Amino acid sequence: MSTSATATSESLPEVVYSPESPLANPGKLVKEVFGDLYRCRELIWILFQRDLKAQFRQSYLGYIWLFLPPVMTTAVWLFLNSQRVISVSDTGIPYPVFVIVGSVVWQTFVKLLQSPLVSFNAGKPVFMKLKVPPEAFIAAGTARAVFEFLIYSVVLIPVFLVFKIVPPWTIVLLPIVLLALFALGTALGLMLVPIGSLYSDIQQAIPVLLGFLMYMAPVVYPPPTSGLAGIVISWNPLTPILMGTRDFLTTGSLEHLAPVLMLLPISCLIIFVSMLVIRVVLPHLIARMGM
For the chain, what are the domain ranges?
Answer: 25-285
**Lowest mean pLDDT: which of 60-69, 132-141, 154-163, 198-207?**
60-69
Question: Is pLDDT of 61 > 60?
Answer: no
Q: What is the C-alpha separation between 236 and 167, in angstroms, rounded?
A: 26
Q: What is the C-alpha separation between 23 and 30, in angstroms, rounded?
A: 10
- The dihedral of CA 190, 118, 115, 229: what is its sign? negative
Q: What is the C-alpha separation between 152 and 174, in angstroms, rounded?
A: 16
**Lowest mean pLDDT: which of 125-129, 146-150, 156-160, 217-221?**
125-129
Residues 152-172 pLDDT 10s: 888 888 888 888 888 999 999
Q: What is the C-alpha separation between 40 and 36, in angstroms, rounded?
A: 6
* Vertex 277: Cα angle to 272 and 279 (nearest 5): 100
Helix axes of 64-82 and 134-153: crossing angle, nearest 10 degrees: 50
Other C-beta atoms closer than 10 Å to the C-beta of 287 total 10
Residues 88-104 pLDDT 10s: 777 888 888 898 899 99
Question: Is pLDDT of 191 > 90?
Answer: yes
Query: What is residue 17's predicted lDDT score, i.e. its pLDDT?
Result: 40
Q: What is the C-alpha separation between 217 and 238, in angstroms, rounded?
A: 7
**Short-list 102, 105, 93, 101, CA closest to 164:** 93
Read off the pTM. Answer: 0.84
Other C-beta atoms closer than 10 Å to the C-beta of 124 total 16
SS3 assignment, position 69 = helix
Question: Is pLDDT of 190 > 80?
Answer: yes
51: confidence class by pLDDT, cuts 50, 70, 90: confident
Q: How far is CA 273 from the centre of its chain?
A: 16
Question: Is pLDDT of 15 > 60?
Answer: no
| Range 77-84, long-range pairs (CB < 8 A, 24+ positions) | 77/220
Residues 67-91 pLDDT 10s: 677 777 777 777 776 666 666 777 8
Considering 6-20, 202-216, 235-249, 269-283, the range whose residues carry the highest mean pLDDT is 235-249
Q: Report yes or no: 169 and 230 within 8 Å, Cβ to Cβ.
A: no
Question: Is pLDDT of 59 > 60?
Answer: no
- The dihedral of CA 76, 80, 86, 90: what is its sign? positive
**Of 281 and 1, more confident:** 281
State mean pLDDT over 220-245: 87
Percent of the chain with pLDDT over 70: 83
Q: What is the mean pLDDT of the chain?
A: 81
Q: What is the C-alpha separation between 256 and 14, in angstroms, rounded?
A: 53
Q: Report yes or no: 116 and 137 within 8 Å, Cβ to Cβ.
A: no
**Short-list 244, 53, 222, 248, CA closest to 165:** 248
